Structure 1
Amino acid sequence: MSEHGTQSRRQLFARTGALGVSIAFAGNLTELFAGTAAAQTMGHSGYGPLLPDPNGLLDLPKGFRYRVLSREGDRLRSGEGKVPSNHDGMTALPGRHGRVHLVRNHENRHNGRIGVPTVDGLTYDPAGKGGCTALTLDPHGEVLSERVGIAGTAVNCAGGPTPWGTWLTCEETEDKAGTNGYTKDHGFIFEVDPADPHRSGAVPLTAMGRFQHEAIAVDPRTGVVYETEDAFEKPFGLFYRFLPRHPRGGPGSLRAGGRLQAMRVPGVPDLSSIQETGTSFDGIEWVDVPDPLAAETPIRFQDFGRRGITHAQKLEGCYWGGHSVYFVSSFARSAEGSAGDHYGQIWRYDPGRRRLTLVIVFGPDTDVQLPGDSPDNICLAPSGGLMVCEDGEGAQHVYGVTRRGEVYAVARNAQNIGTPEDPEWGEFAGVTFSPDGRTMYVNCYNPGTTFAVRGPWRG
């Protein structure tokens, strides 16, 4: 997850009373789902209203049910310690004999509530409280095991799965050794093998860069890894690609190194200046990063030559679909240094054509209870649509988005961590689906809770 400005759009609307009544998307949502077979059958507008959960955990539509797989503070089944707090990015990977491996990030900072327990052979920096835990589920969805996947990392926000069945977990920090008590530099990507975490260990993939990582997506044809940077202050983050030395991939292959490059859109120093959907740029350039380890200077401050480099505020979610990579800018605010204002963008980069296209713009005329404020984690649903975790203020939902732009609520967090007079709800994160598409897994960030949701999913 991420840091917000002092005034969100919801807070502003609450004071002015200017509540919208309809969703406002601009752009071609069909393009988001190109290449997915289910897109041809998609078009429903939801599963009905959300029903209050008598247990006060998760509100769902009629016909849906949930199971709590894990909660922060409980004991890990491995006996390694407690389930850590701050549940964040997550993926579901197929295992043997119909099993499912869930790999879950914990975005703990140095002062996190419940850190990931340190385990011999799986700990990078004993002072780090972040990391991943791995759950293995049987074909019926029962938890078989829950253990540490990696420990001693910091601010593990998002990441992404690899085509070879591992998870790349990303540190969203640039803290160096000696900062906040850390004994090693942070800001790296680590590979986690959920079937046997000791096979992957706790080895930073240093060639992939040291910066405030958010998410990744792998081109399954070429092995190129795309990376987003969620930098909190200007100059804002960059969009990267990593050209691995061993492009065929495989567990551990990224340790062999490669080239890290940053995207340059000719004539566009800041993506927030582009406001009209469908705008495309051909001839996208990729520039070698001068110092991927950022030994002296953070990458986004480094000298990329007289033509500069392209920045964007709040680069977060990233996924591969069809023949392209899609990435999310959660918002941009000119008051914070961006060239323009928006409440969320989705960009598409087609590497075959070297073309970048602005596909979707969220808001600003969006109902404040709908996902027009800071879209964050994002995944493709079995129906071919999108599932979006909104990273904003107020009530917290998982929303579905059809290719026609219809938005419907899938889940609402019912765990009030505020007071009856001033309620507050933790955001959702890590939405993902089981390999067979029958179960949606999603995290509540605070209190850390992992849900499995089943029901009449279409597609």
Structure 2
Amino acid sequence: MSATRRQMLARTGAAGAGIAFTGAISELFAGTAAAHGRAGYGPLVPDPKGLLDLPKGFRYQVLSREGENLRSGEGKVPSNHDGMAAFGGKRGGVHLVRNHENRVTAKIGVPTVKGLTYDPAAKGGCTALALDRRNNVIGERVAIAGTAVNCAGGPTPWNTWLTCEETEDKAGTNGYTKDHGFIFEVDPVDPHRTGAEPLTAMGRFQHEAVAVDPRRGVVYETEDAFQKPFGLFYRFLPKKPQGGRGSLRAGGRLQAMRVPGIPDLSSIQEIGASFDGVEWVDVPDPLAVRTPIRHQDFGPKGVTHAQKLEGCYWGGSSVYFVSSFARKAEGSAGDHYGQIWRYDPSRRRLTLVIVFGPSTDIQLPGESPDNICLAPAGGLMVCEDGGGVQHVYGVTRRGDVYAMARNRQNIGTPDNPEWGEFAGAAFSPDHDTMYVNCYAPGTTFAVTGPWHR
């Protein structure tokens, strides 16, 4: 199937999807270059090294692989590379902060480091890479350890990383010595400035990603719950909305979104469907001492749930969040292969702006969007987390989808191949490099080329 046919589809098919995409989120791309001509950068070229296929004119550097020695001497590069962010450094350099979605069964856990370890029994956390302006690695170290199942997160306007635990395990479960399910702040330059203190007021649940409103200081959070009742979309109103490193420790109010009359977002399938008067309801027990938040009593009107809430980012004057898929067979009100929603806080309006899929050929992209970032030439870069071969794919402002990268690392067998998902796509501040992770085997790439073409 051609890239132009692999479009985001409305309920009745591809017709009009591009128009709906462009009209719905045009503000997201303000200030970026428009994409011209055909979608994408051409066909993917097979990599003779068998790592990463890219279009002609693009090249990659392997920055780090699991099992190698950390430059700091603290131990091995951990497994399961996931969410990531890039921050500007000195003399054109870049600081990367990389999540490791490690459970207690992880092959290589994040090494424990004094002053940076929350729970010595947990194997998750973050590592930080320092790069020069040519993407040469000049430093690699532990940024936080002793956390669990660090999936995604989000950058702050004050240039720190919020890493999220996608678990609700309490102390005494799976050998943990402390409760988990929190957000932690990580300084990419000097992690000891932020330490390993959970931001408890931001809630204890199966966190996925966050996005910060740079003007109001509100933090939006997604919950990737696996079973019904599914996750919620939250906002955190900090006591110190002016922000700054450590400001979130001062506490605040955690609220869950209620869309009147819509108990499950998967019931909405029409691109452009919009709902005014969105309400926010205080969470009764943010620490979920006895009951997980999504099971708590929010009153007779309840709150709005959605399956597989994952990516979350701020663009223009709105927050965008992803539902990777929904399946009636698993309890959702409707079926879909991926949605992106926009919430405009000024208008209290929620709008369905993108619908993905269905996947008609698992060798091509088109389902289960996960981590998402803005692309330099306009549009999005999306990490695919579905079946078969895994891609990073781009989405133009017209709605066309094209393959940008393909993972060639087979972690299965020749007869039954399997490929790890992509995660953590992020661009350097100058937009000349895309950094992206292969989840397994844990590999971090820097991809350069004619991004502005």
Superposed, which structure 2 residues align to 1:325-340 within 5 Å? 325-340=319-334
2:224 matched residue in structure 1: 230
Q: Does the 8 Å CA contact 1:331/1:345 hold for their aligned counterparts? A: yes
Superposed, which structure 2 residues align to 1:93-242 within 5 Å? 93-242=87-236
1:287 aligned to which of 265, 277, 281: 281
Give the number of aligned pairs.
440
- Secondary structure of the residue aligned to 1:115 is coil
1:402 matched residue in structure 2: 396
The answer for unaligned runs of 5 or more in structure 1 is 1-19
Aligned amino acid, residue 321 of structure 1: G
1:80 matched residue in structure 2: 74
Superposed, which structure 2 residues align to 1:339-358 within 5 Å? 339-358=333-352
1:148 & 1:411 partners in 2: Cα distance? 28
2:268 aligned to which of 260, 266, 274: 274
2:357 & 2:295 partners in 1: Cα distance? 31
Asked if 1:54 is matched to 2:60, the reply is no
2:60 & 2:33 partners in 1: Cα distance? 28
Q: CA deviation at 1:365?
A: 6.3
* Aligned Cα root-mean-square deviation (Å): 1.3
Q: CA deviation at 1:248?
A: 0.5
Percent identity over the alignment is: 79
Q: Does the 8 Å CA contact 1:33/1:384 hold for their aligned counterparts? A: no
The answer for unaligned runs of 5 or more in structure 2 is 11-16
2:186 & 2:86 partners in 1: Cα distance? 13
1:33 & 1:84 partners in 2: Cα distance? 39
Superposed, which structure 2 residues align to 1:374-393 within 5 Å? 374-393=368-387
1:248 & 1:319 partners in 2: Cα distance? 19
2:438 aligned to which of 444, 455, 458: 444
Change (3 A) 1:367 1:422: closer
2:9 aligned to which of 7, 15, 25: 25
Q: Does the 8 Å CA contact 1:38/1:382 hold for their aligned counterparts? A: no
Aligned amino acid, residue 21 of structure 2: L
- Secondary structure of the residue aligned to 1:255 is helix
Structure 1 residues 390-419: Cα deviation after superposition (integer angstroms, max 9, x where no partner): 111100110001011111111111111111
2:317 & 2:223 partners in 1: Cα distance? 22
Aligned amino acid, residue 221 of structure 2: E
1:36 aligned to which of 17, 29, 43: 29
Aligned amino acid, residue 368 of structure 2: S
1:13 matched residue in structure 2: none
Q: CA deviation at 1:368?
A: 3.4
- Secondary structure of the residue aligned to 1:111 is coil
1:24 & 1:207 partners in 2: Cα distance? 37
- Secondary structure of the residue aligned to 2:116 is coil
TM-score, length-scaled by structure 2: 0.95
